[in-house]
Amino acid sequence: MRDDEQGRRPTSTRTTVLWVPDWPVVAASQSLEVPRHVPAAVLLGQHVVAVGALARVEGVRRGMRRRQAQSVCPELELLPADDARDTRLFEPVAVAAESVVAGVEVVRPGLLLLPAGGASRYHGSEENLAERL
Protein backbone atom coordinates (compact mmCIF):
# COMPACT_ATOMS: atom_id res chain seq x y z
CA MET A 1 0.00 0.00 0.00
CA ARG A 2 1.52 3.33 -1.02
CA ASP A 3 1.43 6.48 1.10
CA ASP A 4 -0.31 9.58 -0.26
CA GLU A 5 1.47 12.94 -0.67
CA GLN A 6 1.09 13.78 3.05
CA GLY A 7 2.49 10.43 4.19
CA ARG A 8 -0.87 8.91 5.16
CA ARG A 9 -1.91 5.44 4.21
CA PRO A 10 -5.07 5.29 2.11
CA THR A 11 -8.13 4.01 3.93
CA SER A 12 -9.58 0.64 3.04
CA THR A 13 -12.46 0.70 0.59
CA ARG A 14 -13.48 -2.91 1.18
CA THR A 15 -17.17 -3.08 1.90
CA THR A 16 -19.48 -5.87 2.96
CA VAL A 17 -23.01 -5.70 1.62
CA LEU A 18 -25.92 -7.27 3.46
CA TRP A 19 -28.85 -7.37 1.04
CA VAL A 20 -32.35 -8.74 1.46
CA PRO A 21 -33.71 -8.19 -2.06
CA ASP A 22 -37.30 -9.06 -1.17
CA TRP A 23 -37.39 -6.89 1.97
CA PRO A 24 -40.65 -5.06 1.16
CA VAL A 25 -42.36 -8.45 0.73
CA VAL A 26 -40.76 -9.80 3.93
CA ALA A 27 -41.86 -6.73 5.91
CA ALA A 28 -45.39 -6.63 4.48
CA SER A 29 -45.89 -10.37 4.94
CA GLN A 30 -44.73 -10.19 8.55
CA SER A 31 -46.81 -7.12 9.30
CA LEU A 32 -49.97 -8.53 7.70
CA GLU A 33 -49.34 -12.11 8.92
CA VAL A 34 -49.26 -13.66 5.46
CA PRO A 35 -48.23 -17.34 5.71
CA ARG A 36 -44.79 -18.14 4.28
CA HIS A 37 -46.18 -20.71 1.84
CA VAL A 38 -48.29 -18.06 0.05
CA PRO A 39 -46.75 -16.33 -3.01
CA ALA A 40 -46.70 -12.59 -2.35
CA ALA A 41 -45.78 -9.33 -4.02
CA VAL A 42 -45.93 -5.66 -3.08
CA LEU A 43 -48.06 -3.38 -5.18
CA LEU A 44 -47.73 0.39 -5.63
CA GLY A 45 -50.62 1.78 -7.61
CA GLN A 46 -51.27 -0.87 -10.25
CA HIS A 47 -47.66 -2.08 -10.55
CA VAL A 48 -45.68 -4.76 -8.74
CA VAL A 49 -42.65 -3.19 -7.05
CA ALA A 50 -41.31 -6.19 -5.08
CA VAL A 51 -41.73 -9.93 -5.53
CA GLY A 52 -41.25 -12.76 -3.07
CA ALA A 53 -39.36 -15.92 -4.05
CA LEU A 54 -42.47 -18.10 -4.38
CA ALA A 55 -44.18 -15.54 -6.63
CA ARG A 56 -41.03 -15.27 -8.78
CA VAL A 57 -41.09 -19.03 -9.32
CA GLU A 58 -44.66 -18.64 -10.61
CA GLY A 59 -43.55 -15.97 -13.11
CA VAL A 60 -44.41 -12.74 -11.29
CA ARG A 61 -41.90 -9.96 -12.02
CA ARG A 62 -41.32 -6.40 -10.85
CA GLY A 63 -42.99 -3.87 -13.10
CA MET A 64 -45.91 -6.13 -13.99
CA ARG A 65 -49.37 -4.65 -13.84
CA ARG A 66 -51.70 -6.05 -11.18
CA ARG A 67 -53.86 -8.06 -13.61
CA GLN A 68 -50.89 -9.58 -15.41
CA ALA A 69 -49.33 -10.68 -12.10
CA GLN A 70 -52.62 -12.21 -10.96
CA SER A 71 -53.06 -13.99 -14.29
CA VAL A 72 -49.68 -15.75 -14.03
CA CYS A 73 -50.21 -16.52 -10.33
CA PRO A 74 -53.91 -16.57 -9.33
CA GLU A 75 -53.08 -17.35 -5.66
CA LEU A 76 -50.82 -14.26 -5.45
CA GLU A 77 -51.25 -12.20 -2.30
CA LEU A 78 -50.92 -8.52 -3.24
CA LEU A 79 -49.63 -6.41 -0.37
CA PRO A 80 -49.64 -2.62 -0.10
CA ALA A 81 -46.38 -0.70 -0.38
CA ASP A 82 -45.46 1.11 2.84
CA ASP A 83 -42.02 2.70 3.12
CA ALA A 84 -42.50 3.56 6.82
CA ARG A 85 -43.32 -0.08 7.64
CA ASP A 86 -40.32 -1.33 5.65
CA THR A 87 -38.02 1.09 7.46
CA ARG A 88 -39.45 0.37 10.93
CA LEU A 89 -39.19 -3.41 10.53
CA PHE A 90 -35.65 -3.22 9.10
CA GLU A 91 -34.32 -1.30 12.11
CA PRO A 92 -33.76 -4.45 14.25
CA VAL A 93 -31.80 -6.01 11.37
CA ALA A 94 -29.53 -2.96 11.21
CA VAL A 95 -29.09 -2.99 15.00
CA ALA A 96 -28.18 -6.69 14.92
CA ALA A 97 -25.61 -6.06 12.15
CA GLU A 98 -24.21 -3.14 14.18
CA SER A 99 -23.58 -5.58 17.05
CA VAL A 100 -21.26 -7.52 14.71
CA VAL A 101 -19.67 -4.62 12.77
CA ALA A 102 -19.41 -0.98 13.80
CA GLY A 103 -20.21 1.66 11.21
CA VAL A 104 -23.23 0.15 9.49
CA GLU A 105 -24.77 2.34 6.79
CA VAL A 106 -28.41 1.75 5.89
CA VAL A 107 -28.75 2.51 2.18
CA ARG A 108 -32.45 1.60 2.20
CA PRO A 109 -34.54 -0.97 4.02
CA GLY A 110 -33.12 -4.31 2.95
CA LEU A 111 -29.65 -3.01 2.06
CA LEU A 112 -26.74 -2.38 4.46
CA LEU A 113 -23.15 -1.39 3.76
CA LEU A 114 -20.54 -2.35 6.33
CA PRO A 115 -16.81 -1.67 6.46
CA ALA A 116 -15.14 -5.01 5.75
CA GLY A 117 -11.42 -4.58 6.33
CA GLY A 118 -11.18 -4.42 10.12
CA ALA A 119 -14.32 -6.45 10.67
CA SER A 120 -13.07 -9.43 8.68
CA ARG A 121 -9.71 -9.31 10.51
CA TYR A 122 -11.51 -9.08 13.88
CA HIS A 123 -13.71 -12.08 13.08
CA GLY A 124 -10.83 -14.05 11.56
CA SER A 125 -11.92 -14.07 7.92
CA GLU A 126 -14.51 -12.75 5.51
CA GLU A 127 -16.30 -16.11 5.72
CA ASN A 128 -16.53 -15.83 9.52
CA LEU A 129 -17.83 -12.27 9.20
CA ALA A 130 -20.49 -13.37 6.70
CA GLU A 131 -21.53 -16.21 8.99
CA ARG A 132 -21.86 -13.85 11.97
CA LEU A 133 -23.95 -11.44 9.93
Residue 83 lies in a domain: yes
- Tell me whether residue 10 is in a domain: no
What mean pLDDT comes out for the span 4-29? 79
Which 8-state DSSP code applies to residue 9? P
What is the tally of structural domains in the chain?
Answer: 1
Q: In the predicted model, is pLDDT for residue 104 greater than 90?
A: no
What pLDDT digit, counting tens, does each position of 52-61 carry?
A: 999 999 999 9
46 found inside a domain: yes
pLDDT band at 110 (very low <50, low <70, confident <90, very high): very high
82-94 mean pLDDT: 96
Residue percentage of the chain with pLDDT more than 70 = 90
User: What pLDDT score was predicted for residue 127?
Assistant: 77
Q: What is the pLDDT of residue 121?
A: 74
Residue 121 belongs to some domain of the structure: yes
Domain extent, residue 115, equals 15-132
Residue 2 forms part of a structural domain: no
The CATH number given to whatever domain includes residue 35 is 3.40.1170.60
Q: What share of the chain is helix, strand, coil (3-state, %, to 5)?
A: 40, 20, 40
**Residue 69 belongs to a domain:** yes
According to DSSP, residue 55 is labeled: H
Residue 74: inside a domain: yes
115 inside domain = yes
Specify whether the CB–CB gap between 59 and 65 falls below 8 A: no
Its sign, for the CA torsion 97, 99, 102, 105, is positive
